[in-house]
């Protein structure tokens, strides 16, 4: 079978169109929250989902089904059919104009099987599966959602989307896509109705920063050659997680697989970069804030951004020379710092400091746990996707994706992107942690060297 990274195919697209709500919707101006409109969220997130042919739906066209359902779904999620505007103090709001979301119909001369036995990012020809329509990639005065549905030769299809991050986080986007799937399957309304109420995460009056937010502190960058970035995907199943647990002494108490794996990968990444021992390094874990309020603050159906990205700080020397329990405790501490007060303090920081961008220096390792986001559960009538999640990663940024290995075991797939010199060292470090466990899947078929990020 043709290897995924060498797969080349042609996509034929029809002219892009704007899909508007099926019924008249309110023309109003809605402010975003002070968590929504921080500088670090002013970009568009691409997601891709692969669907297999369904024998029960041979005569159904996924493009028509999804296009029609999209128009109906926008009646409930009408702010997504509007446009973002920026007001005083860089405050963002959405003008609910009903102009619509971008939609592209396409066909590809490729089958799903040609993508390989294991669907794993990065995917070939992604720029053809989510075509960059001129004028659609901005933040202000642009469509807030861009969808391309590409039919495949085998009868399956690919649903690729890109949404303006300021409007919703992963949980909010999945809520919308789930609603779209429900209506595509015949429902007259979503099972969970959307709730705006962005004022719930608006800064206090007067705003006051009461917590430490390391992720916004500047840190010197590392000179990384971006023309020599290597990608490999690593699978961590029961065997691998068990091997990593052997590194942690019992007296450290309870910890999750996420915390353990993050600590191990962080140390492997920093060791592989060969930093000076005194260099400051950070771990940044994205934490869902929805369950951090007591009593609960955000209602069911809230689809705005409700996550924070706390960071723990240490030096390269301390991280690399201490036992893994040291890194594990730092990861746990970063997550434990997320309290109701922390979230309010973050919203206040945005107002007081002009909505700054979090630091993106290469010595900061960022982890996104997408295993429970729900991208792999969205059903438009063809069942669950064969893959649902991000299309690619970035240097020192890892997304945790639910996956199965060839034995059918459930586990965590982690795409890793590093300079080639660092990737070689990373593999050695990780292999050493696993004590040369030969069950570790290092997918060399996904080795991918890119000229640009």
Active site residues per annotation: 165, 379
237 within 8 A of 409, measured Cβ to Cβ: yes
Q: In sequence order, what are the beta bridge partners of 95?
A: 29, 83
Q: Which residues contact 71 (CB under 8 A, 6 or more apart)?
A: 19, 20, 21, 22
Report how far residue 287's alpha carbon sits from residue 335's, in angstroms, rounded to the nearest whole number: 7
Of 223, 310, 218, 330, nearest to 266 by C-alpha is 330
Rounded Cα gap, residues 29 and 41, in angstroms: 20
> What distance in Å separates the CA atoms of residue 38 and residue 36, rounded to the nearest whole number?
6
* Distance set, CA 108 to CA 112, 128, 153, 242, 419 (Å): 10, 9, 7, 42, 32
The two structure tokens encoding residue 187:
């429902």
Q: What span, in angstroms and rounded, lies between the C-alpha atoms of 121 and 397?
A: 13
CA-only gyration radius of the chain, Å: 22
Residue 400 and residue 4: Cα distance in Å, rounded? Answer: 20
Residue 307: DSSP 8-state:
E
Q: Estimate the crossing angle of helix 257-273 against helix 324-336, to 10 degrees.
A: 120
CB atoms within 10 A of CB 255: 16
**Which residue intervals of 365-417 are DSSP H helices?**
none
Q: Which residues pair with 406 in a beta bridge?
A: none
The rounded distance, in Å, linking the Cα atoms of 129 and 107 is 9
Secondary structure of residue 395 in the 3-state scheme: coil
Q: Which of 248, 429, 214, 407 is nearest to 325 (CA)?
A: 248
The SS3 call for residue 288 is strand
Residues 423-443 as b/e (b if ≥16 CB within 10 A, e otherwise) read bebbbebbeebbeeeebbbeb
DSSP codes of every residue in 206-222: S----S--GGGS-----
């Amino acid at each position: 079978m043709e290897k995924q990274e060498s797969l080349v195919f042609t996509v034929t697209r029809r002219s892009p169109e704007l899909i508007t709500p099926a019924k008249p919707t309110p023309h109003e101006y809605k402010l975003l929250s002070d968590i929504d409109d921080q500088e670090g969220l002013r970009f568009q997130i691409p997601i891709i989902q692969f669907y297999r042919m369904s024998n029960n739906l041979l005569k159904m066209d996924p493009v028509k089904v999804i296009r029609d359902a999209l128009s109906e779904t926008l009646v409930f999620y009408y702010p997504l059919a509007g446009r973002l505007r920026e007001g005083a103090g860089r405050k963002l709001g959405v003008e609910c104009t009903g102009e619509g979301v971008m939609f592209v119909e396409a066909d590809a001369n490729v089958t799903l099987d040609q993508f390989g036995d294991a669907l794993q990012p990065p995917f070939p020809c992604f720029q053809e599966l989510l075509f960059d329509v001129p004028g659609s990639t901005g933040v202000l005065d642009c469509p807030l959602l861009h969808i391309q549905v590409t039919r495949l030769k085998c009868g399956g299809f690919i649903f690729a989307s890109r949404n303006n991050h300021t409007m919703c986080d992963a949980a909010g986007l999945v809520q919308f896509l789930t609603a779209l799937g429900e209506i595509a399957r015949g429902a007259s309304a979503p099972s969970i109705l959307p709730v705006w109420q962005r004022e719930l995460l608006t800064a206090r009056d007067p705003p006051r920063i009461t917590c430490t937010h390391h992720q916004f502190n500047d840190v010197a960058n590392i000179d990384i050659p971006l023309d020599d970035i290597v990608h490999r995907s690593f699978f961590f199943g029961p065997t691998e997680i068990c091997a990593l647990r052997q590194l942690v002494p019992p007296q450290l108490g309870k910890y999750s697989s996420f915390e353990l794996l993050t600590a191990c990968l962080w140390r492997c990444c920093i060791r592989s970069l060969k930093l000076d021992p005194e260099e400051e390094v950070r771990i940044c874990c994205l934490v869902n804030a929805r369950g951090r309020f007591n009593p609960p603050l955000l209602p069911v159906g809230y689809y705005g951004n409700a996550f924070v990205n706390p960071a723990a700080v240490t030096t390269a020397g301390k991280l690399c020379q201490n036992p893994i329990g040291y890194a594990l405790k730092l990861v746990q501490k970063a997550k434990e710092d997320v309290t109701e007060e922390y979230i309010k303090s973050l919203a206040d920081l945005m107002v007081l400091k002009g909505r700054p961008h979090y630091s993106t220096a290469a010595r900061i390792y960022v982890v996104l746990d997408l295993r429970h986001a729900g991208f792999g559960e969205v059903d438009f009538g063809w069942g669950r996707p064969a893959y649902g999640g991000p299309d690619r990663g970035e240097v020192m940024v890892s997304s945790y994706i639910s996956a199965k290995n060839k034995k059918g075991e459930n586990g965590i797939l982690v795409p890793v992107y590093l300079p080639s010199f660092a990737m070689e060292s990373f593999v050695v470090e990780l292999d050493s942690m696993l004590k040369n466990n030969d069950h570790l899947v290092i997918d060399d078929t996904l080795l991918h060297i890119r000229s640009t990020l």
